[in-house]
């Protein structure tokens, strides 16, 4: 007995678009080089993000960035910083006017 799938109300184009999306995601995952985990100091992170140390401290306390305490130092994983930056929503400002 073979398993079969019956598709109804799905056009050929919709099915192809779904498959294309799945294949595209898999190809992207395969082609991305794996980065080695690299820890950055507070100073390095503030330079990377162009923010001050107090702002970095505020982001850490709010949970926007995740720091790891090693002794008396706080270190940040580079990949987690990149992920946090991607997740921050872009704000659109409207010009004030009448």
Secondary structure element (H or E) that encloses residue 82, with its range: helix 78-87
DSSP-assigned states of every residue in 3-26: ------S--HHHHHHHHHHHHHHH
Q: pTM higher than 0.85, yes or no?
A: no
Give the gyration radius of the chain's Cα atoms.
22
Give the pLDDT of residue 37: 80
How much of the chain exceeds pLDDT 70, in percent?
A: 91
Give the pLDDT of residue 6: 76
- Tell me what the mean pLDDT of segment 11-18 comes to: 88
């Amino acid at each position: 007995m073979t398993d079969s799938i019956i598709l109804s109300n799905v056009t050929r184009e919709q099915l192809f678009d779904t498959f294309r999306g799945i294949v595209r995601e898999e190809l992207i995952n395969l082609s991305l080089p794996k980065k080695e985990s690299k820890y950055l100091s507070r100073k390095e992170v503030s330079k990377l993000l162009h923010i001050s140390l107090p702002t970095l401290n505020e982001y850490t306390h709010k949970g926007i960035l995740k720091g790891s305490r090693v002794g008396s130092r706080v270190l940040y994983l580079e990949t987690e910083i990149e992920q946090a930056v991607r997740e921050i929503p872009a704000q659109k400002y409207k010009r004030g006017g009448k």
